[in-house]
């Protein structure tokens, strides 16, 4: 199972240990809980017998989820895994909503205002906020894990797909054409683009074959826009028919497939836009950074017959991937929530003020986003609750637990176990 992080009295990281060993140290009062997420203990006395071995931080960045794994290259053991859910699309939607409200207000209040354009300059390397948040999330967790684990190197999946190879399958160079990765780049791209299902019948969880929308026998090309995925039954049934003849009785599906074939992969675009910014951010840590492609990651995973998961993809990033030992590893699920907004009031869908936002964020030492443990001893809500708290100035809080929302818990019953850091945690 995932190990427990250990730091010494001077907060220097030591080797992660088994959870049973951590429980024994806590039971014997030789250590104390330093942090709840990721779970970390701090020793109360120096222990010279605690070894320190090098770990590698491996990252598989994605548009919605990023996989993180800490791997001991000497033994192949995965000592920690996490899946980080980004909020990039939520930021994009919030910016769009704000822009629409602002435009509506300006149209009402300053109808004849002189138009402005080219009046703002962006610094070199600027990224849209929705993209920058992804880079910042990963950099934050890289720095966080470096404080709790002896990390000496980083591996990053730099490119999700080798676009050059897909655009020109006849590209020269044995590392492209003759290597063992031939075909993995295109297939991984198509799996993402077509949601890992047959384009014609929608079947999932079956072996899928790469299929030409316009058949090669009738002049179809190997371009990525002419490729899709189909199950063996549909592939044989279609044969060398033109797609318009094959789906002439289902024009809705025909239109959907032709539209999807030309549609760029938004998630891949987000990853490709941020890849170099993330690479530079990781290099700024001063650690050596190894890079690899998505095709290489899938090749490593398929060679070891591992299932598809974000944290397993992370563990398989890079050429240096050893034979992995993953027995009992359970990833920590991390969701980026942000730190709230600076709005002084909330608005309705028309942009008019509708409700007040408190000026002071702390109530009785708690703020919205803290993870608390509440033990209620009397009243209608007797029980123990653990979750993210939403504070109220009245002192009656709401707690989001794994079983749902619990309302009206007094602050007197609450104890903070993890201060707000912009993330929500689950298992």
pLDDT, tens digit (0-9, with 9 covering 90-100), for 106-138: 778 776 767 677 777 888 888 999 999 999 999
* Of 156, 160, 154, residue with least CA distance to 295: 160
Q: Counting beta carbons within 10 angstroms of the beta carbon of residue 83, is it exposed (0 to 12), middle (13 to 18) or buried (19 or more)?
A: buried
Report the percent of the chain where pLDDT is more than 90. Answer: 48
CA 44 to chain centre: 35
Q: Are strands 404-410 and 396-401 parallel, antiparallel or unpaired?
A: antiparallel
3-state percent breakdown (helix, strand, coil) of the chain, nearest 5: 30, 25, 40
The reported pTM is 0.77
**288 has pLDDT over 80:** yes
Question: Cis omega before residue 38 (within 30°)?
Answer: yes
**42 has pLDDT over 80:** yes
> Collapsing DSSP states into helix, strand and coil, what is residue 347?
strand
Q: pLDDT higher for 136 or 267? A: 136
- The separation between the first and the last C-alpha atoms of the chain, rounded to the nearest angstrom, is 13
- Strand order from edge to edge, sheet including 65-72: 289-293, 151-159, 55-60, 65-72, 77-85, 332-336, 423-426
Q: What is the DSSP letter of 292?
A: E
Q: In degrees, to the nearest 5, what angle opens at C-alpha 424 toward C-alphas 148 and 415?
A: 85
Give the Å distances, CA to CA, from 67 to 138, 310, 371.
10, 4, 23
What does the alpha-carbon distance between residue 290 and residue 283 come to, in Å, rounded to a whole number? Answer: 10
- For residues 255-272, give the mean pLDDT: 78
pLDDT in tens, 135-183: 999 999 999 999 999 999 999 998 655 555 555 555 444 444 344 445 5
Beta bridge partners of 159: 293
What does the alpha-carbon distance between residue 114 and residue 44 come to, in Å, rounded to a whole number? Answer: 67
Identify the pLDDT of residue 166.
54
pLDDT in tens, 193-229: 888 899 899 888 888 888 898 888 888 888 778 888 9
Identify the pLDDT of residue 167.
52
> Collapsing DSSP states into helix, strand and coil, what is residue 151?
strand
Which parts of 240-318 fold into alpha helices (H)? Answer: 243-246, 251-262, 266-283, 294-303, 310-315
**43 and 17 in contact (C-beta within 8 Å)?**
no
**73 and 57 in contact (C-beta within 8 Å)?**
no
């Amino acid at each position: 199972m995932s190990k427990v992080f250990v730091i010494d009295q001077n907060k220097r990281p030591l080797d992660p240990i088994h959870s049973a060993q951590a429980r024994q140290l806590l039971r014997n009062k030789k250590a104390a809980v330093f942090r709840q997420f990721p779970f970390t203990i701090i020793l109360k006395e120096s222990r010279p017998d605690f070894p320190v071995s090098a770990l590698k931080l491996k990252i598989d960045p994605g548009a919605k989820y990023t996989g993180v794994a800490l791997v001991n290259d000497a033994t192949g053991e995965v000592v920690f895994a996490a899946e980080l859910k980004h909020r990039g699309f939520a930021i994009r939607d919030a910016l769009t909503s704000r822009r629409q409200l602002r435009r509506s207000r300006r149209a009402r209040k300053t109808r004849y205002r002189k138009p402005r354009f080219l009046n703002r300059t962006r610094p070199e390397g600027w990224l849209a906020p929705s993209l920058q948040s992804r880079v910042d999330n990963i950099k934050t967790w890289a720095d966080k894990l470096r404080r709790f684990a002896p990390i000496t190197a980083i591996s990053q999946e730099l490119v999700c797909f080798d676009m050059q190879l897909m655009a020109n399958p006849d590209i020269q160079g044995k590392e492209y054409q003759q290597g063992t990765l031939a075909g993995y780049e295109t297939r991984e791209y198509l799996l993402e683009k077509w949601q890992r299902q047959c384009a014609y019948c929608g079947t999932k969880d079956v072996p899928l074959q790469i299929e030409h929308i316009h058949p090669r026998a009738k002049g179809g090309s190997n371009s990525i826009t002419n490729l899709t995925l189909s199950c063996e039954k549909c592939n044989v049934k279609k044969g060398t028919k033109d797609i318009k003849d094959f789906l002439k009785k289902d024009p809705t599906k025909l239109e959907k497939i032709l539209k999807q074939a030309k549609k760029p992969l938004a998630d891949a675009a987000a990853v490709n836009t941020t890849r170099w910014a993330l690479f530079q951010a990781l290099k700024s840590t001063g650690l050596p950074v190894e890079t690899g492609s998505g095709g290489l990651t899938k090749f490593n995973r398929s060679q070891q017959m591992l299932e598809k998961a974000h944290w397993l993809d992370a563990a398989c990033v890079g050429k240096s991937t050893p034979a992995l030992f993953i027995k009992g590893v359970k990833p920590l699920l991390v969701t980026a929530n942000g730190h709230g907004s600076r709005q002084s009031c909330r608005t309705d869908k028309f942009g008019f003020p509708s409700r007040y936002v408190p000026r002071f964020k702390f109530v009785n030492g708690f703020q919205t986003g803290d993870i608390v443990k509440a033990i209620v001893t009397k009243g209608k809500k007797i029980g123990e609750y653990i979750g993210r708290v939403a504070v109220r100035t009245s002192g009656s809080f709401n707690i989001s637990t794994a079983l749902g929302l619990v309302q009206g818990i007094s602050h007197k019953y609450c104890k903070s176990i993890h201060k707000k850091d912009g993330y929500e945690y689950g298992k």
